[in-house]
Amino acid sequence: MALWGGRFSQAADQRFKQFNDSLRFDYRLAEQDITGSIAWSKALVTVNVLSNEEQQQLDVALNELLAEVRANPEQILQSDAEDIHSWVEGKLIDKVGALGKKLHTGRSRNDQVATDLKLWCKEQVAVLLDATRELQSALVATAEANQDAVMPGYTHLQRAQPVTFAHWCLAYVEMLARDESRLQDTLKRLDVSPLGCGALAGTAYEIDRQQLAGWLGFASATRNSLDTVSDRDHVLELLSDASIGMIHLSRFAEDLIFFNTGEAGFLELSDKVTSGSSLMPQKKNPDALELIRGKCGRVQGALTGMMMTLKGLPLAYNKDMQEDKEGLFDALDTWVDCLHMSVLVLDGIQVKRPRCQEAAEQGYANSTELADYLVAKGVPFREAHHIVGETVVEAIKQGVALEALSLAQLKQFSAVIEDDVYPILSLQSCLDKRNAQGGVSPQQVAFAIAEAKKRLA
């Protein structure tokens, strides 16, 4: 039975009911709705709407329902209740009869749904924080195992300077650390209880909302009832967090897809996260990574969609706001899935060091080294840059690396070049020299790994 039949003399059109009902997705708020109801029943005792005995009875019944829901959440979908709030109330009345009808005193579905969703968001933030940290740990472990795997670093997708696979892993650790802190920041603003704001103007019962907030594990209670029932900032913030997090994961995926190509050949993905072609027997496609990259789109879509839904909405609650859930649920589920899948991909990755090294040696990634060498011998940098450019052209013409040119050949470009240039041009020297904070030197990378491990412990 609907919660609001009294004013109506005609039944709702079946097509409208289907259009309006939200149970098929908000059933996911069942546990939160029951938890919120238990707290609300306790608040009703403090204002003498319920006796202690009545509250006890509701408490037992609601806890029973909670256990049933946990055991089989899908059962909810069998019902034709309008939404999860109607479903819980209906079930409660089935269990305790008329007493169940007292629970909604002083409460509205507007403060109720805001409370349920915030409770759900808080739980999801915890899940996301775990998953984010799990991937960071996997990246740190991969970095640790690949500190000596030299490979080309790119700008404009042109080989630029040598880096290590470890340094590449640690770049993503940084992005994920920011994702983590963004979530923690969101949590601070989210952790404020809406319950006791009624439909829009506040509840007519003098409930201690701070105490009620505490019972539900919120840090405090909101300050303005109009704002409270129409605020979905936390949904926008979480969708923003998810959008940024997914952008990081899609870049991670794209890098690995490239490293895995036949053209690069820097690594091989595990059979566990790749799939074959129905036609071409030789194919091993990086589907897991392509899906991570691809799913980034729907998460950005959910954020944009919700922004458009809220834009221009008048205060306070409007049914438009029911549109907040599907996109949010999907976006956060997607984000968690992609974090887990990224861990799985890293788990079976095989870095092909000789090929990485070979690629780093080609492409004149040590040109900057030669310029710095000339600078050390007193050549102004701009001039050194030009000299090295000409030297590279000559090396390309001969089809060899810079360090393969003889001293006599090098001297044609600058007389200051001596035998001591050769060790400078080695990959190891390129790495070793970048020893300022955040650089690719083995010492800096080892330090970054140790710091990340401490933070993630």
Closest CA to 28 of 79, 75, 84: 84
For residue 327, the minimal CB distance to ligand ARG (Å) is 13
How many residues sit in the footprint of ligand ARG (CB under 6 A)?
10
Parallel, antiparallel or unpaired: strands 267-268 and 220-221: unpaired
For residue 216, the minimal CB distance to ligand ARG (Å) is 18
Closest CA to 132 of 187, 70, 193: 187
Closest CA to 452 of 145, 177, 150: 177
DSSP string, 284-311: -B-HHHHHHHHHHHHHHHHHHHHHHHHT
For residue 164, the minimal CB distance to ligand ARG (Å) is 50
CB nearer ligand ARG, residue 316 or residue 427? 316
Residues linked to residue 19 through DSSP beta bridges, in sequence order: none
Cα Rg of the chain, angstroms:
30
- Buried/exposed code over 416-427 (b: 16+ C-beta within 10 A; e: otherwise): bbeeebeebbeb
167 classed as catalytic: no
CB nearer ligand ARG, residue 114 or residue 296? 114
Task: Find the binder of ligand ARG among 190, 213, 288, 321 (CB under 6 A).
Answer: 321
Q: Which of residues 46-105 bind ligand ARG (CB under 6 A)?
A: 83
Half-sphere exposure (CA, 13 Å, Cβ side) for 29?
32
CB nearer ligand ARG, residue 180 or residue 324? 324
Please state, in angstroms and as integers, the Cα–Cα distance from residue 345 to each residue in 164, 173, 260, 268, 286, following that order: 19, 15, 12, 10, 10
CB nearer ligand ARG, residue 27 or residue 317? 317
Instruction: Provide the mask over 341-380, with x wherever binding to ligand ARG is found by CB under 6 A and - wherever it is not.
Output: ----------------------------------------
Near ligand ARG by CB under 6 A, which window of 59-67, 271-279, 319-327, 403-411? 319-327
CB nearer ligand ARG, residue 113 or residue 303? 113
Q: How far is Cα 439 from Cα 357, in angstroms, rounded to an integer?
A: 19
Task: State both tokens at 208.
Answer: 């201690």
322 makes contact with ligand ARG (CB under 6 A): yes
For residue 102, the minimal CB distance to ligand ARG (Å) is 20
Query: Which of the residues 277, 342, 386, 414 is marked catalytic?
Result: 277
Cβ 348 vs Cβ 270: under 8 Å:
yes
CB nearer ligand ARG, residue 168 or residue 317? 317
For residue 116, the minimal CB distance to ligand ARG (Å) is 9
CB nearer ligand ARG, residue 20 or residue 277? 20
- Secondary structure letter of residue 27 according to DSSP: G
Query: Which amino acid, residue 158?
Result: Q
Cβ 179 vs Cβ 244: under 8 Å:
yes
For residue 122, the minimal CB distance to ligand ARG (Å) is 18
Query: Which of the residues 156, 225, 240, 385 is marked catalytic?
Result: 156
**In degrees, to the nearest 5, what angle opens at C-alpha 43 toward C-alphas 40 and 49?**
100
Task: State both tokens at 104.
Answer: 């909604």
For residue 117, the minimal CB distance to ligand ARG (Å) is 8
Q: Which of residues 99-138 bind ligand ARG (CB under 6 A)?
A: 109-110, 113
9 classed as catalytic: no
Tell me which residues touch ligand ARG (CB under 6 A). Answer: 22, 26, 83, 109-110, 113, 317, 319, 321-322
Q: Which residues are catalytic?
A: 156, 277
